[in-house]
Amino acid sequence: MQTTELGRTGRQVSQLALGAMQMGNATGESDSVRILDRYLEVGGSFIDTADCYEWWAREGSRGGESEELLGRWMRDGTKRDQIFLATKGSALPRYSPDLWAADGTPNWDLARRTFAGAGAKTLRDALDGSLRRLGTDHIDLYYIHVDDKATPLEETLEALAGFVEAGKVRYLGWSNVYTWRLERIRGLCARNGWPLPVAIQQQHSYLRRRAGLDTASIVDTEQLDYLRDNDDQTLVAYSPIVKGVYDSAAKRADHWMMANYAGPDADARIAAVTEIAAEVGVTPNQLVLAWLLHQTAPRVIPLIGPRTPEQFEDVVPALDVKLTEDQLTRLDEAGA
Protein backbone atom coordinates (compact mmCIF):
# COMPACT_ATOMS: atom_id res chain seq x y z
CA MET A 1 0.00 0.00 0.00
CA GLN A 2 1.30 3.45 -0.88
CA THR A 3 1.50 6.30 1.61
CA THR A 4 0.60 9.97 1.39
CA GLU A 5 1.55 13.02 3.41
CA LEU A 6 -1.02 14.28 5.91
CA GLY A 7 -1.44 17.94 5.06
CA ARG A 8 2.03 19.47 5.01
CA THR A 9 3.10 17.86 8.27
CA GLY A 10 5.76 15.60 6.77
CA ARG A 11 3.95 12.66 8.39
CA GLN A 12 3.25 9.80 5.97
CA VAL A 13 0.12 7.70 6.46
CA SER A 14 -1.31 4.86 4.41
CA GLN A 15 -3.34 5.99 1.42
CA LEU A 16 -6.29 3.88 2.56
CA ALA A 17 -7.60 4.38 6.11
CA LEU A 18 -9.46 1.75 8.12
CA GLY A 19 -12.57 2.72 10.07
CA ALA A 20 -13.23 0.78 13.28
CA MET A 21 -16.74 2.10 13.93
CA GLN A 22 -18.46 -1.30 13.95
CA MET A 23 -15.71 -3.13 15.81
CA GLY A 24 -16.89 -4.33 19.20
CA ASN A 25 -20.54 -4.39 18.14
CA ALA A 26 -21.67 -5.45 14.66
CA THR A 27 -18.17 -6.84 14.10
CA GLY A 28 -17.20 -9.19 16.90
CA GLU A 29 -13.78 -9.43 18.54
CA SER A 30 -12.32 -12.24 16.45
CA ASP A 31 -13.41 -10.78 13.10
CA SER A 32 -12.23 -7.32 14.18
CA VAL A 33 -8.79 -8.69 15.01
CA ARG A 34 -8.66 -10.52 11.66
CA ILE A 35 -9.45 -7.29 9.80
CA LEU A 36 -6.97 -5.21 11.81
CA ASP A 37 -4.17 -7.74 11.41
CA ARG A 38 -4.84 -8.11 7.70
CA TYR A 39 -4.86 -4.32 7.26
CA LEU A 40 -1.37 -4.14 8.77
CA GLU A 41 -0.30 -7.07 6.58
CA VAL A 42 -1.19 -5.21 3.35
CA GLY A 43 0.67 -2.11 4.50
CA GLY A 44 -2.05 -0.10 6.23
CA SER A 45 -1.31 2.23 9.14
CA PHE A 46 -4.15 4.77 9.50
CA ILE A 47 -6.90 3.54 11.85
CA ASP A 48 -9.93 5.67 12.70
CA THR A 49 -12.45 5.48 15.54
CA ALA A 50 -14.46 7.79 17.86
CA ASP A 51 -15.54 7.93 21.47
CA CYS A 52 -19.22 7.60 20.52
CA TYR A 53 -18.88 4.34 18.53
CA GLU A 54 -21.38 2.72 18.69
CA TRP A 55 -23.74 4.06 21.35
CA TRP A 56 -26.68 3.36 19.03
CA ALA A 57 -25.91 -0.38 18.72
CA ARG A 58 -27.56 -1.34 22.00
CA GLU A 59 -29.90 0.33 24.43
CA GLY A 60 -28.13 2.05 27.31
CA SER A 61 -24.70 2.14 25.66
CA ARG A 62 -22.44 5.14 26.18
CA GLY A 63 -20.20 4.22 23.28
CA GLY A 64 -16.53 3.45 23.61
CA GLU A 65 -16.75 -0.19 22.49
CA SER A 66 -14.61 0.43 19.40
CA GLU A 67 -11.91 2.25 21.37
CA GLU A 68 -11.88 -0.48 24.00
CA LEU A 69 -11.44 -3.19 21.37
CA LEU A 70 -8.61 -1.27 19.70
CA GLY A 71 -6.99 -0.85 23.11
CA ARG A 72 -7.04 -4.60 23.67
CA TRP A 73 -5.67 -5.24 20.17
CA MET A 74 -2.85 -2.70 20.55
CA ARG A 75 -1.69 -4.20 23.84
CA ASP A 76 -0.56 -7.27 21.89
CA GLY A 77 3.05 -6.64 20.80
CA THR A 78 4.16 -3.45 19.06
CA LYS A 79 0.96 -2.61 17.22
CA ARG A 80 0.65 0.88 18.73
CA ASP A 81 4.00 1.80 17.18
CA GLN A 82 2.87 0.56 13.77
CA ILE A 83 -0.28 2.62 13.45
CA PHE A 84 -1.39 6.22 13.06
CA LEU A 85 -4.34 6.38 15.44
CA ALA A 86 -7.26 8.77 14.99
CA THR A 87 -10.24 9.27 17.26
CA LYS A 88 -12.90 11.92 17.73
CA GLY A 89 -14.89 13.77 20.36
CA SER A 90 -18.03 15.96 20.54
CA ALA A 91 -20.65 13.60 19.03
CA LEU A 92 -21.75 11.47 22.00
CA PRO A 93 -25.30 12.59 22.93
CA ARG A 94 -26.26 13.30 26.51
CA TYR A 95 -27.71 10.22 28.13
CA SER A 96 -31.48 9.89 28.15
CA PRO A 97 -33.69 6.80 28.15
CA ASP A 98 -35.48 8.52 25.26
CA LEU A 99 -32.43 7.94 23.06
CA TRP A 100 -33.94 4.52 22.28
CA ALA A 101 -37.49 3.68 21.22
CA ALA A 102 -39.41 0.83 22.83
CA ASP A 103 -38.08 -1.55 20.18
CA GLY A 104 -34.47 -0.52 20.91
CA THR A 105 -33.93 1.56 17.78
CA PRO A 106 -32.00 4.82 18.27
CA ASN A 107 -33.72 8.20 18.34
CA TRP A 108 -31.43 10.08 15.96
CA ASP A 109 -33.45 13.28 16.07
CA LEU A 110 -32.90 13.56 19.83
CA ALA A 111 -29.27 12.50 19.52
CA ARG A 112 -28.49 15.24 17.01
CA ARG A 113 -30.07 17.83 19.31
CA THR A 114 -28.08 16.69 22.35
CA PHE A 115 -24.57 16.05 21.04
CA ALA A 116 -21.93 16.70 23.71
CA GLY A 117 -20.44 19.53 21.66
CA ALA A 118 -16.98 21.06 21.60
CA GLY A 119 -16.75 23.02 24.82
CA ALA A 120 -13.33 22.99 26.48
CA LYS A 121 -14.27 20.87 29.51
CA THR A 122 -16.34 18.50 27.40
CA LEU A 123 -13.38 17.89 25.09
CA ARG A 124 -10.92 17.48 27.95
CA ASP A 125 -13.12 14.81 29.53
CA ALA A 126 -13.73 13.14 26.15
CA LEU A 127 -10.03 12.99 25.29
CA ASP A 128 -9.05 11.58 28.67
CA GLY A 129 -11.74 8.91 28.30
CA SER A 130 -10.46 8.00 24.84
CA LEU A 131 -6.87 7.75 26.05
CA ARG A 132 -7.97 5.47 28.89
CA ARG A 133 -10.04 3.15 26.68
CA LEU A 134 -7.34 3.01 24.00
CA GLY A 135 -4.62 2.38 26.56
CA THR A 136 -2.24 4.95 25.06
CA ASP A 137 -0.62 8.19 26.17
CA HIS A 138 -1.33 10.09 22.96
CA ILE A 139 -3.65 10.28 19.96
CA ASP A 140 -2.02 10.86 16.58
CA LEU A 141 -5.04 12.67 15.11
CA TYR A 142 -7.90 14.08 17.17
CA TYR A 143 -11.04 15.30 15.39
CA ILE A 144 -13.94 17.47 16.30
CA HIS A 145 -16.50 14.91 15.18
CA VAL A 146 -19.53 17.16 14.68
CA ASP A 147 -18.95 20.87 14.14
CA ASP A 148 -20.45 22.72 17.11
CA LYS A 149 -21.72 26.19 16.19
CA ALA A 150 -23.12 26.77 19.70
CA THR A 151 -19.62 26.93 21.24
CA PRO A 152 -17.26 29.82 20.33
CA LEU A 153 -14.58 28.54 17.98
CA GLU A 154 -11.98 30.33 20.08
CA GLU A 155 -12.85 28.14 23.07
CA THR A 156 -12.62 24.93 21.05
CA LEU A 157 -9.42 25.83 19.23
CA GLU A 158 -7.66 26.99 22.39
CA ALA A 159 -8.57 23.71 24.12
CA LEU A 160 -7.30 21.69 21.16
CA ALA A 161 -4.06 23.69 21.12
CA GLY A 162 -3.64 22.79 24.78
CA PHE A 163 -3.96 19.08 23.94
CA VAL A 164 -1.16 19.39 21.40
CA GLU A 165 1.03 21.41 23.76
CA ALA A 166 0.52 18.79 26.50
CA GLY A 167 1.59 16.00 24.13
CA LYS A 168 -1.75 14.20 24.37
CA VAL A 169 -2.48 14.84 20.68
CA ARG A 170 -0.09 15.11 17.72
CA TYR A 171 -2.37 16.55 15.02
CA LEU A 172 -5.89 17.95 14.80
CA GLY A 173 -8.82 17.35 12.45
CA TRP A 174 -12.39 18.51 11.87
CA SER A 175 -15.39 16.64 10.52
CA ASN A 176 -18.91 17.33 9.22
CA VAL A 177 -18.19 20.99 8.62
CA TYR A 178 -19.18 23.75 6.18
CA THR A 179 -16.47 25.40 4.11
CA TRP A 180 -17.10 28.85 5.61
CA ARG A 181 -16.32 27.39 9.03
CA LEU A 182 -13.02 26.00 7.75
CA GLU A 183 -12.09 29.48 6.55
CA ARG A 184 -12.95 30.94 9.96
CA ILE A 185 -10.95 28.22 11.74
CA ARG A 186 -7.98 28.94 9.47
CA GLY A 187 -8.08 32.65 10.26
CA LEU A 188 -8.34 32.13 14.03
CA CYS A 189 -5.45 29.66 14.04
CA ALA A 190 -3.26 32.08 12.07
CA ARG A 191 -4.06 35.04 14.34
CA ASN A 192 -3.60 33.17 17.60
CA GLY A 193 -0.76 30.81 16.75
CA TRP A 194 -2.95 27.74 17.30
CA PRO A 195 -2.28 24.52 15.36
CA LEU A 196 -4.38 24.23 12.21
CA PRO A 197 -6.47 21.08 11.68
CA VAL A 198 -4.62 19.07 9.04
CA ALA A 199 -7.35 16.53 8.22
CA ILE A 200 -10.91 17.25 7.12
CA GLN A 201 -13.10 14.15 7.37
CA GLN A 202 -16.20 14.39 5.21
CA GLN A 203 -18.54 12.08 3.35
CA HIS A 204 -17.16 11.89 -0.19
CA SER A 205 -17.49 9.47 -3.09
CA TYR A 206 -17.65 9.38 -6.88
CA LEU A 207 -21.33 10.23 -6.83
CA ARG A 208 -22.01 13.92 -6.29
CA ARG A 209 -24.57 15.12 -3.79
CA ARG A 210 -27.86 16.09 -5.41
CA ALA A 211 -28.58 19.71 -6.24
CA GLY A 212 -30.21 21.68 -3.45
CA LEU A 213 -29.10 19.39 -0.62
CA ASP A 214 -28.00 21.41 2.42
CA THR A 215 -25.61 19.41 4.59
CA ALA A 216 -22.34 20.07 6.37
CA SER A 217 -21.25 16.47 5.94
CA ILE A 218 -21.00 15.81 2.20
CA VAL A 219 -18.30 17.48 0.12
CA ASP A 220 -19.54 19.90 -2.55
CA THR A 221 -17.73 21.74 -5.35
CA GLU A 222 -16.98 24.74 -3.11
CA GLN A 223 -15.28 22.52 -0.54
CA LEU A 224 -13.26 20.73 -3.21
CA ASP A 225 -12.12 24.14 -4.49
CA TYR A 226 -11.16 25.19 -0.94
CA LEU A 227 -9.14 21.99 -0.42
CA ARG A 228 -7.36 22.40 -3.76
CA ASP A 229 -6.23 25.84 -2.65
CA ASN A 230 -5.24 24.66 0.84
CA ASP A 231 -3.21 21.48 0.55
CA ASP A 232 -2.10 21.80 4.19
CA GLN A 233 -5.42 20.04 4.91
CA THR A 234 -6.07 16.53 3.59
CA LEU A 235 -9.54 15.20 2.76
CA VAL A 236 -10.33 11.95 4.57
CA ALA A 237 -13.36 10.54 2.75
CA TYR A 238 -15.80 8.47 4.77
CA SER A 239 -18.50 6.32 3.14
CA PRO A 240 -16.37 6.28 -0.04
CA ILE A 241 -18.47 3.55 -1.68
CA VAL A 242 -21.79 4.72 -0.15
CA LYS A 243 -22.49 1.41 1.61
CA GLY A 244 -21.60 -0.53 -1.54
CA VAL A 245 -24.33 0.88 -3.81
CA TYR A 246 -22.11 0.86 -6.91
CA ASP A 247 -22.23 -2.93 -7.13
CA SER A 248 -25.97 -3.34 -6.62
CA ALA A 249 -28.95 -1.80 -8.39
CA ALA A 250 -31.20 -3.26 -5.68
CA LYS A 251 -29.19 -1.54 -2.97
CA ARG A 252 -29.32 1.74 -4.88
CA ALA A 253 -33.10 1.43 -5.04
CA ASP A 254 -33.54 0.73 -1.34
CA HIS A 255 -30.71 2.31 0.63
CA TRP A 256 -31.55 5.50 2.52
CA MET A 257 -28.18 7.07 1.68
CA MET A 258 -29.09 7.27 -2.00
CA ALA A 259 -31.53 10.09 -1.18
CA ASN A 260 -28.44 12.32 -0.93
CA TYR A 261 -27.36 11.50 -4.48
CA ALA A 262 -30.27 10.18 -6.58
CA GLY A 263 -31.03 11.87 -9.87
CA PRO A 264 -29.86 12.09 -13.49
CA ASP A 265 -26.30 12.99 -12.51
CA ALA A 266 -26.00 9.91 -10.31
CA ASP A 267 -27.48 7.73 -13.06
CA ALA A 268 -24.91 8.97 -15.57
CA ARG A 269 -22.00 8.44 -13.18
CA ILE A 270 -23.18 4.95 -12.22
CA ALA A 271 -23.24 4.10 -15.94
CA ALA A 272 -19.68 5.37 -16.37
CA VAL A 273 -18.41 3.43 -13.36
CA THR A 274 -20.11 0.24 -14.54
CA GLU A 275 -18.65 0.54 -18.04
CA ILE A 276 -15.08 1.30 -16.98
CA ALA A 277 -15.08 -1.31 -14.21
CA ALA A 278 -15.87 -3.92 -16.85
CA GLU A 279 -12.96 -2.66 -18.98
CA VAL A 280 -10.55 -2.85 -16.05
CA GLY A 281 -11.86 -6.18 -14.76
CA VAL A 282 -12.86 -5.05 -11.26
CA THR A 283 -16.13 -4.41 -9.48
CA PRO A 284 -17.69 -0.93 -9.57
CA ASN A 285 -17.03 -0.54 -5.83
CA GLN A 286 -13.35 -1.35 -6.38
CA LEU A 287 -13.18 1.07 -9.30
CA VAL A 288 -14.59 3.93 -7.20
CA LEU A 289 -11.98 3.34 -4.49
CA ALA A 290 -9.27 3.26 -7.16
CA TRP A 291 -10.59 6.53 -8.62
CA LEU A 292 -10.42 8.17 -5.20
CA LEU A 293 -6.86 6.89 -4.71
CA HIS A 294 -5.90 8.52 -8.02
CA GLN A 295 -7.09 11.97 -6.93
CA THR A 296 -4.39 14.60 -6.50
CA ALA A 297 -6.29 17.92 -6.45
CA PRO A 298 -7.24 17.62 -3.71
CA ARG A 299 -5.56 14.50 -2.37
CA VAL A 300 -8.03 12.04 -0.88
CA ILE A 301 -7.61 9.31 1.73
CA PRO A 302 -10.61 6.94 1.46
CA LEU A 303 -11.78 5.67 4.83
CA ILE A 304 -13.29 2.19 4.53
CA GLY A 305 -15.41 0.55 7.22
CA PRO A 306 -15.75 -3.17 6.47
CA ARG A 307 -18.08 -5.12 8.75
CA THR A 308 -16.59 -8.53 7.92
CA PRO A 309 -13.17 -9.88 6.87
CA GLU A 310 -14.75 -10.79 3.52
CA GLN A 311 -15.78 -7.18 2.94
CA PHE A 312 -12.23 -6.10 3.70
CA GLU A 313 -10.83 -8.59 1.19
CA ASP A 314 -13.24 -7.22 -1.44
CA VAL A 315 -11.54 -3.83 -1.05
CA VAL A 316 -7.91 -4.98 -1.36
CA PRO A 317 -7.82 -5.34 -5.19
CA ALA A 318 -8.57 -1.61 -5.53
CA LEU A 319 -5.06 -0.87 -4.24
CA ASP A 320 -3.53 -2.31 -7.41
CA VAL A 321 -5.86 -0.76 -10.01
CA LYS A 322 -4.12 1.59 -12.44
CA LEU A 323 -6.44 3.85 -14.41
CA THR A 324 -5.39 5.43 -17.72
CA GLU A 325 -5.68 9.15 -18.36
CA ASP A 326 -8.53 8.40 -20.77
CA GLN A 327 -10.41 6.40 -18.16
CA LEU A 328 -9.90 9.09 -15.51
CA THR A 329 -11.10 11.76 -17.95
CA ARG A 330 -14.22 9.76 -18.81
CA LEU A 331 -15.01 9.25 -15.13
CA ASP A 332 -14.42 12.91 -14.31
CA GLU A 333 -16.55 14.18 -17.20
CA ALA A 334 -19.47 11.82 -16.67
CA GLY A 335 -22.66 13.39 -15.38
CA ALA A 336 -25.92 14.98 -16.32
Find residue 88's DSSP bridge partners. Answer: 143
Phi, psi of 111 (to 5 degrees): -60, -45
Q: Residue 173 pairs with which residues in a beta bridge?
A: 143, 199
Is the pLDDT at 77 greater than 90, yes or no? no
Pairing between β-strand 12-14 and β-strand 3-5 as defined by DSSP bridges: antiparallel
pLDDT at 76: 84
Can you list the domains of the chain with their CATH numbers?
Answer: 3-333 (3.20.20.100)
Tell me how far apart the alpha carbons of residues 296 and 137 are, in angstroms, rounded to a whole number.
34
Judge contact between 220 and 202, C-beta under 8 A. no
pLDDT digits (tens, 9 = 90+) for 123-169: 999 999 999 999 999 999 999 999 999 999 999 999 999 999 999 99
Partners of 302 in the β-ladder = 237
What pLDDT sits at residue 297?
95
CA distance 263 to 258: 9
Answer for the pair 89, 53: CB distance below 8 angstroms, yes or no. Answer: no
272-280: average pLDDT: 98
Burial class of residue 295 (count of CB atoms within 10 Å of its CB; 0-12, 13-18, 19+): middle
| Contact call for residues 77 and 91 (beta carbons, < 8 A) | no
Q: Specify the pTM.
A: 0.97
CA distance 63 to 66: 8
